[in-house]
A and B are shown apart, each in its own frame.
Chain A
Amino acid sequence: AQTVTQSQPEMSVQEAETVTLSCTYDTSESDYYLFWYKQPPSRQMILVIRQEAYKQQNATENRFSVNFQKAAKSFSLKISDSQLGDAAMYFCAYEPGGGADGLTFGKGTHLIIQP
């Protein structure tokens, strides 16, 4: 079974600085998808960024980028120029290739932005 591990229960960063959230996963599959979802205090999870495992190029969405290391099964999220609105729980998630329905989530990292 696939597992997703987020080893940082909480991270803190100064506003305008850069922070990296860690995620590792375990799978025997070669085709899969990885996601970072953000859960602000409103509780509604929002997709931040996604990565297809067959793509070597790291995904980027504005201030958010990932460092995808397939061999190491690592998928970290970098947030540049941190803003107060980035404060939230961040969940790493895995989806096997082939059209499976259920995502496997990590336990989340609580990101605090210090003004």
Chain B
Amino acid sequence: EPEVTQTPSHQVTQMGQEVILRCVPISNHLYFYWYRQILGQKVEFLVSFYNNEISEKSEIFDDQFSVERPDGSNFTLKIRSTKLEDSAMYFCASSQSRGFGEKLFFGSGTQLSVL
């Protein structure tokens, strides 16, 4: 079965630094998502992306966050100036269509540690 791939699997950064998390969604999927999970807490929706623009975003997704699909395959999440509370597991997901019980395909996540 095709997979969503995420790189790197672990990222360590200093507070205030910019990080870019990378994802390669499944090739024929049209909708892309980022979720995060702070240790011991719930998986939280950050943002969805379709047709080269943000479709929906949560309150967590503030001006420090941005997403981009720089080419036909990659989907990136950028955090401009990382904070300690950004430390979390970040999951990328993709789907063929939107909502209505559509199955999401998740990557294995990037563990971000902000020191």
Residues on A facing B (Cβ under 8 Å): 4, 33, 35, 37, 42-47, 50, 52, 91, 93, 95, 97-108
Question: B73-115, CB under 8 A of A: which get 1 and which 0?
Answer: 0000000000000000101010000111101101111000000
Q: How far is the CB of B77 from chain A (nearest CB, A)?
A: 15
Answer whether A101 and B42 are a contact pair too, CB < 8 Å, given A44-B3, A44-B107. no
Residues on B facing A (Cβ under 8 Å): 3-4, 31, 33, 35, 40-45, 48, 55-56, 58, 89, 91, 93, 98-101, 103-104, 106-109
Task: Report whether A101 and B44 are in contact in the complex, using a CB–CB cutoff of 8 Å.
Answer: no
10 contacts between A and B (CB under 8 A): A44-B4, A44-B109, A45-B43, A50-B103, A91-B43, A99-B98, A102-B45, A102-B48, A103-B43, A104-B45
Task: Report whether A45 and B56 are in contact in the complex, using a CB–CB cutoff of 8 Å.
Answer: no
Which residues of the partner chain B approach A47 to less than 8 Å between Cβ atoms?
103-104
A101 to B32: give the CA distance in the assembly, Å. Answer: 10
A4 to B89: give the CA distance in the assembly, Å. Answer: 20
Which residues of the partner chain B approach A95 to less than 8 Å between Cβ atoms?
99, 101
Q: Which of A99, A101, A102, A107 has the most CB of B within 10 A?
A: A101
Q: Which of B42, B44, B89 has the most CB of A within 10 A?
A: B42
